[in-house]
Amino acid sequence: MLVGMLEERGTEVSFKRGMSIIKMNEKIAACGTGKNGLYNLDMAFMSDVAAVASLQLWHERLGLVNVAGVRRMIKIEDVDGLKCTSMVVKDICEPCVDYHAAMTPMPKAGGIRVTRRLQLVHLDLGGPMSEPSRGGAL
């Protein structure tokens, strides 16, 4: 867990006498104990705080599931404890834009009509490969 990222989001993090305390909105969100310079968090505290988030945050936490899908999960209580503080989402979701920018669309049906072999070829390109080809090339 990056303490700097937590602090940027307004979370208070403190380390005292071998204990770590993470506060969100003046409430204790998690506590932990330190050993050999590493802190193990007790996530039991976190469940109430983490379960309540905006629709945008749930969209991101659930791996960029479409917003309609997240709304449906909330409405029919598909996920235990999934609570939403705000149903507002950003007009532009940066991770979604990055994902969709990497995809190239397939040609629409009704485009060029093929009249001879190899006139239109679809390929999936990848590389460099870590496994050698049959000829031994990488």
Instruction: State pLDDT tens for residues 63-85.
Output: 788 889 888 888 887 776 677 88
Q: Look at strands 52-53 and 12-16 and give their pairing.
A: unpaired
**In this structure, are 11 and 42 located in the same domain?**
yes
**In this structure, are 34 and 62 located in the same domain?**
no
User: Do the domain assignments include residue 123?
Assistant: no
**In this structure, are 59 and 43 located in the same domain?**
no
**In this structure, are 42 and 72 located in the same domain?**
no
* Better-predicted residue by pLDDT, 120 or 138: 120
Instruction: Quick: pLDDT tens for 5-48.
Output: 777 778 888 888 888 888 877 777 778 888 887 887 765 555 55
Last residue of a domain, one of 27, 49, 71: 49
Instruction: Quick: pLDDT tens for 41-68.
Output: 765 555 555 667 788 888 877 778 888 9
User: Do the domain assignments include residue 109?
Assistant: no
Q: What is the tally of structural domains in the chain?
A: 2
Whether the model pTM is above 0.95: no
Residue 75 phi/psi, 5-degree rounding, is -65, -45
User: Do the domain assignments include residue 90?
Assistant: yes
Instruction: Quick: pLDDT tens for 91-128.
Output: 888 878 887 777 677 666 666 778 888 887 877 676 66
> What domain range is 79 assigned to?
54-101
CA distance 54 to 112: 46
Residue 137 has pLDDT above 60, yes or no: yes
Q: What is the DSSP letter of 5?
A: H
User: Do the domain assignments include residue 110?
Assistant: no
User: Do the domain assignments include residue 116?
Assistant: no
The three-class DSSP label of residue 106 is coil
**In this structure, are 73 and 43 located in the same domain?**
no
**In this structure, are 30 and 58 located in the same domain?**
no
Asked whether the beta carbons of 49 and 27 are under 8 A apart, the reply is: yes
**In this structure, are 45 and 61 located in the same domain?**
no
User: Do the domain assignments include residue 33?
Assistant: yes
**In this structure, are 45 and 71 located in the same domain?**
no
Q: How far is CA 97 from CA 66, 72, 126, in A?
A: 13, 23, 22
What's the pLDDT at 43? 54
**In this structure, are 6 and 40 located in the same domain?**
yes
